[in-house]
Each structure stands twice: as C-alpha cells, then as structure tokens.
Amino acid sequence: MNLKKNNFLLYFLLSIPGVLCGLALIIGTIKDAFGILFFYGWTLLAIKNIHAAIIIFFFLIPLERNNPFFSLDELFIIKSILIFILFIVWFISKLKTYSILKNIFSDNNFTPFWILFLFLFVLSTLYSINITQSFRQLVLVISICFLYYIYCEVLQKKQIIKLSLWTLSITSAGVAVITILQYFIIRYHILSVLEPFLIPKRFQFQNILGGLTEIHKHRSYGTFSHPNLLGAYLSLCLPISFIFCLMQKKIGQRVVTYCIFILLIIALFLSNSRASILSSTVSMSYIIFSLVKQKRKILSIFAVVTIIMILSVVSYSPLSEYFSNYLRLKSKISNRELLWVGAIDIVSNNKMLGTGPATFSMAYHALHGMPAANSPDFLVEDIYESRRVGKAMHQPKLTAHNLFLQYAVNIGLFGPVLIIFFYFTYFKCIFSTLKIKNTNMFYRYLLIGTSSVVFGTLIHGIFESSIFMEQPFQSYLFIYMVSLTMICKKKIVTNINLHSLNQTIPNA
C-alpha cells in the first residue's frame, strides 16, 4: 500500500494519534503517551506495509485494558481509531482499482449483514439512554467491520496466513505462560518477585469484595481484566492451535505447536471459565468429528467415555466434591438465570431499538436497582469492577451473560435476528464448501479449524456475550477467524473451478 508522499489527507489522518498522544501527556501519564506512540508507530507501519501491520496486530490483541503492562484505560478506543485510519488509507489506495473494491464488497457473503447491523447500531445509538457509552461501542463495531474487509483482502497469500497463525500461536503461548505463572504466584506464593509485573492491579480489589475473594483467588487473569475474558480469548486460540499442529509437516515445528497447544489447555483450565471450557470442548469435538472418517465409531467411544466419567464423578464423593468446587456449582454468585429474567424484563419495555449499545448494566440497575453486597442478588463475578485503579468504584458492570439477550437489550429484538442471520449465512457457506472433495488440504484443514472456532462461539454465547462484537479484543480475533473462513472458501471454490476448466478444455 504505497500512497503519494504529498497527500494532505494522509498527513491529516496521521496527526490524530499525535494529538491523542499530546493529550495523554497533559492529562494522563507517560505510560499513556507511550502506549499511544506505540500504536502510532503501528499505524505508520500499516501505511508502509499492511501485511506486517496485520501480523504485529496479533501481538496487540491480548493487551486488554487494566492489564499489567499499560495503564491507559481507554486503550481499545485508540485501537478502534487506528483501525479506522488504516481502513481509510487502504480504501483510498484502492479507489483507482474499482474492480478490486467490487470484488471485496459485493462478492462477499456478509456485506448484507454488515449493512443491516451497522444501520441498526446507528439507530439504536441515536435513541440510547447513554449516547456517549453507545457511541464508543458503535466505534468499536465499525472498526471490526473495517478490519473484516481488510483481513479479507490482505490474508490472500498462503505465506501471510501461515505467518499470522505463527504470530497468533506465539502470542497466545505468551499469554498462557503468564497465566500459569499467575496461578503459582496466587496459589503457592512463589516467584513473588514477578508479582508486580504479572498480577493485574484489579486483583487488589478482591480483599474488599469479600465473597468474591473465594471465587477469584485461584483463577488466573492472564493479560485481561477478568478470568472469563481470558477464557474467551483462549477458547478462540485453542481449536485453531490444534488444527495448526496437524498442518505442520516438519517434526520440529510440530513439536513446538503441540507444546503451545498443551500450554493453552492448561491456561484455559486455570482461567476456570466454564463457558469457555465448554465451547472449546465443542470446538475440539467438531474438529475430530470432521477429520475422522469412522464417525459412528468415534461417537460410540465418546458416549461410553462420557457415561463412565459421569458415573465416576457421581459415585466417588471426593471426585464429586472436587468437580463441584471447580465448577462452582454450589455458588449463588453465578446464577445467570436472575440476569436472564432481568434482561427479558428490560426487552419487554424496549422492543424496537433497545436501550442502546453497551447500556445493559445501566438499564438493569435502573429497572432492578443496585443489590447490596450481602444480597442473594449479588451474583456476578465482575460486580463492582473498577474501571480505573485508585478511583472510586462504579456501579456493578453487568452483562446479560447471554449473547442474544445482550443484543436484544442493547439494540432491540432485531439484534438477535441479525445474529441468527450471521450464523446461518456462515454455516451455509461452510457446509456447502466442505462438501467439495479433492481440495487443497491446507485450506480444507484451515476451514475446519476456523469454523470450529465460530461454532464454539455460538455455544459460548449461551452463557457469555464477550466474543461477538462486544469486547474489542476477543472480537478482533473472532472476525479474523471469519475472514479466514471466507478466504478458504474462495480458494477452494476457485481451485475446483480451475480444475474443472482444465479437464473441459482437452475434451473440447
């Protein structure tokens, strides 16, 4: 992507991060300014070499707000702005080649979804009960949409895809190592010298929250502000890591990828995110079922093993007690049905456009009030989460803990309908492509891996709402998987058409 040096618009766009950096120095801290300068440098790199910028972006995805490395509270807004800049520059560079833009936008299965989804988001934002909060979420969704089309155009070459997968593997392995070290520091109080660098500042609030200390004390955060967000990130990385292991031909690379896969499994269980563990299990089962030819035999073995495990847990008391404690079955703090009922009450009063994007917590407290700390309704793990260390605590920041209810509250009943439309469109493309035989195995394996991740997010969405364009960092990774799926589909269909054409010409 090379633009003319004397491009006024280019310099204007590049001045935005510089202004933000100056504001950070005036009203923020040196670390805030450093964070913005870092992303400013990334934007410059994106203009010079978009492929390199996309690869580096995978290192930035796990750096969530309230992490131990950056103090910038609104880091995701900076990311969204920079993606917006990147898209504009990329779009300008393609204006002269109308045919490329036509292929990218018109010949894409999800363009109707994005048009409807963004239109509904804008309308809901205009009628929001908190326009500022909703506008921030709108910026995030626009940046995700832009990033999707950038991915679809940039990740066309096999070498770039492999490089992005290696980058994702290394980054996720780093997060997994931090997660494991956190567990040993929290549980066994060893390696305490690393505590200031590895334990998020938010962890210090657990002593204030009483009952939450018992829940969180043996759960790792990784580089995220909550164990469930760590689990969501790992549930996206784990299935694609497994399929990436199977794609390796060299023994050395296969050993490295399997080691990373094992680290991710350990980190996932240390996050103790039940929804993420369930979605990862479903994704892994999807991969195995797709690759193995003797499907009935696999299903029989799976059924027998499941029955044996259930009987063992039920009949052996110590094992039953362990699983009950691990899954927090006796705890009332995660009774999601109370939030689900509350969400339904909110939707019944705001059917058309909802209360506005990212306003569930405010709408819930407005309707149901704010529970006391010793109340049975004090139920969510992220309740009383402080947005900024050292500041006064805010109202409990709640989510519906259900993807469809979350969007029904935020943007009205059309929200869940559009989500169903998205998944229907996605799996319609997947199943029609997987029926094609004699395809390139690289793209076929990758298609199975990415589709397993997206299928897992559907299961994850029953209990959490953090992946589907709700939390920025999980959403960036989710849309990467969707983009790879569309690329694999296009490559497989194109190769089959070329193969058919080559067979037809000699016969003619």
The confidence score (pLDDT) of residue 384 equals 39
Residue 382 has a pLDDT of 43
Q: What is the pLDDT of residue 301?
A: 63
Would you state the pLDDT for residue 243? Answer: 92
- Residue bearing the bigger pLDDT, 50 or 348: 348
Question: Structure tokens of 83?
Answer: 């993606």
pLDDT category at 31 given cuts 50, 70, 90 is very low
Q: In the prediction, which pLDDT does 236 show?
A: 92
Q: Is the separation of the CB atoms in 141 and 357 below 8 Å? A: yes
Contact 169, 247 (CB under 8 A): no
Query: In the chain, how long is the greatest CA-to-CA distance?
Result: 81
Query: Which residue, 1, 71, 5, is CA-closest to 38?
Result: 71
For residue 168, pLDDT beyond 60: yes
Read out DSSP for 324-377? HHHTTTT-GGG-HHHHHHHHHHHHHH-TTT-S-TT-HHHHHHHHH----TTSTT
pLDDT in tens, 314-339: 565 565 555 555 566 555 445 677 88
pLDDT at 51 over 50: yes
pLDDT of residue 68: 43
Confidence of residue 87 (pLDDT cuts 50, 70, 90): low
Quote the percentage of the chain above a pLDDT of 90: 13
Higher pLDDT, 391 or 163: 163
DSSP assigned state of 380: -
Average pLDDT, the chain: 72
Q: Which pLDDT belongs to residue 211?
A: 37
236-285 tens-digit pLDDT: 999 999 999 888 888 888 899 999 999 999 999 888 888 899 899 999 98
Supply the pLDDT for residue 434.
81
Question: How many angstroms separate the CA atoms of 491 and 508, rounded?
Answer: 26
| pLDDT confidence bin for 38, thresholds 50/70/90 | low
The model's pTM is 0.78
pLDDT at 260: 93
pLDDT in tens, 196-240: 666 655 554 443 333 333 444 567 777 777 788 888 999 999 999
pLDDT: which is higher, 93 or 475 = 475
What's the average model confidence in pLDDT over 453-463? Answer: 90
- Mean pLDDT is highest, among 102-106, 195-199, 434-438, for 434-438
Name 304's Cβ contacts closer than 8 Å, sequence gap at least 6.
none
Query: How does pLDDT run across 107-158, given as a tens digit for each residue?
Result: 567 888 888 999 999 999 998 888 888 887 887 788 788 778 878 877 888 8
Coil, helix or strand for 129? coil
The single residue listed with the structure tokens 């990467």 is 480
Tell me the backbone φ, ψ of residue 396, rounded to 5 degrees: -55, 125
The residue that leads in pLDDT, 419 or 316, is 419
Residues 6+ apart with CB under 8 A from 391: none
Question: Taking the chain, what is the end-to-end CA distance rounded to the nearest angstrom?
Answer: 42
Output the pLDDT for position 263: 93
Question: How is residue 184 written in tokens?
Answer: 């040993």
- Identify whether the C-beta of residue 99 lies closer than 8 Å to the C-beta of residue 123: no
